[in-house]
Amino acid sequence: MITVIEKDFIEIKSDRTFHYELKAKNNLVAKGTWDRTDDLLYFNYTVPSDTIRCYTIQINGNELTLNENDVNFSFIKKETIKVINEKTETSRLQNIIRGIIGLTSLLLIAFACSRNRKKINWELVFKGLFIQFIFAIGILKVPFVASIFNQISKGFVKVISFTQAGTDFLFASFITGKIEAPMVNFMVQVLPTIIFFSALTSLFYYLGILQKVVYFFAWMMKKFMKLSGSESLAAVGNIFLGQTEAPLLVSPYLGKMTKSEIFCLMSGGMATIAGGVLAAYIGFLGGSDPVEQLLFAKHLLAASVLSAPAAVIAAKIIIPETEKYNQELKLSKDKIGSNALEAISKGTTDGIRLAVNVGAMLLVFTAIIAMGNYLTNDLIGNWTGINNWIVANTSYTGLTMQFIVGYSFAPIAWLMGIAWKMQYL
């Protein structure tokens, strides 16, 4: 417990910056920018570390209360300071308009890429949009549904803590019993999470737990959206499993699936986040802070769930169903391994392969970006003097790959729902 003293303060300024100091907490100084949506206040920290935290706010007279995971931080306004009255109705309307424009644009892009526009099942498309809307309302506005997602997110965070026990056993020093500073890196702290989740997923698959969860949601999607049985199973399975594991759920049907069904299966795998990779993202973005891990877990899990019907919509617009398909909703009886131990072993092996693949890809692409930055920034930017103009007029350090890609894809990011002022961060 930390006692707040009189010298502790927080400043939330109208230029969307904040600054607070907690003398009682080792002279902690925090700075960054803020954004508000309804009763949610987002702090985008630049000091002491680059991260994002979300608070539920309450203003009662001169008292401001920030709530984060049932922990309250209360501040009293000084009489000489004016309270910032954010026009939430205007920002809310802007967000809604941006969302409508973005959704319409993405549908038009899919329509332009369609192989057979006359065969598009628009009833399915609108039903998929309706499911997304219901899911979003439930996650954001319905306390019961929000609490379920919160508990599932806490489960992910808890499992990550179990992974840490195995990581400590392998990499901790025999002398201090802790992982030494040089070993606190991406390979040691993040990649083991992928391996553990892969093994755990294989175990749940062998025990039949995953199949039952997938079947329940697939049955609802099939009834409402009139998808084939294999499409429904694959679409829901991709939320929990990876691109390679999800097809196992429909392995008996793969040989007879139509082009539209195969494309829908692959689109779902690309749009959602596999359990092991989801855990890796949570560990990487949230660091060692359970509060941060829980915040990112809820956002990423919600995004993965909402992406399942979105992938179906896009797939069915681009390659509409024109052939007869199998309506049967039946899970494959294939199991991973002949017993639980073999299932764990196979999952571990697959996890190692995936972790090595993730690490190798990151290494190569980071190196390619560094090479690109040398060509664009160190050579072209310095020779032409463009770097000086970029530094003076933007938040970038020069004609880097980040600058080029950031500005090139900013309109697409805006269509996807990112506020314009955050496009170039």
Instruction: Establish if 345 belongs to a structural domain.
Output: no
Check whether residue 295 and residue 239 sit in a common domain. yes
> What integer best gives the mean pLDDT of the chain?
80
Check whether residue 235 and residue 298 sit in a common domain. yes
Give 356-397 pLDDT, tens digit per residue.
988 899 899 999 999 999 999 999 999 999 999 998 888 788
CATH classification of the domain holding 26? 2.40.128
Check whether residue 113 and residue 31 sit in a common domain. no
Last residue of a domain, one of 336, 352, 378: 336
d(CA 108, CA 110): 5
Check whether residue 377 and residue 312 sit in a common domain. no
Instruction: Establish if 57 belongs to a structural domain.
Output: yes
Q: Which residues contact 383 (CB under 8 A, 6 or more apart)?
A: none
| pLDDT in the model for residue 85 | 47
Edge-to-edge strand list for the sheet holding 63-68: 9-12, 17-22, 28-37, 40-47, 51-60, 63-68, 71-76
Check whether residue 164 and residue 307 sit in a common domain. yes
pLDDT band with cut points at 50, 70 and 90 for residue 80: low
Last residue of a domain, one of 20, 53, 76: 76
- Bridge partners (DSSP) listed for residue 1: none
If you average pLDDT over residues 409-414, what whole number do you get?
Answer: 84
Instruction: Establish if 97 belongs to a structural domain.
Output: no
Give 281-314 pLDDT, tens digit per residue.
887 787 767 777 788 888 888 888 888 888 899 9
Check whether residue 168 and residue 287 sit in a common domain. yes
Residue 71, domain extent: 9-76
Last residue of a domain, one of 22, 52, 76: 76
Q: Which residues contact 280 (CB under 8 A, 6 or more apart)?
A: 190, 191, 193, 194, 197, 358
d(CA 337, CA 202): 9
Q: Domain count for the chain, please give it.
A: 3
Instruction: Establish if 98 belongs to a structural domain.
Output: no
Check whether residue 157 and residue 295 sit in a common domain. yes
If you average pLDDT over residues 171-176, what whole number do you get?
Answer: 77
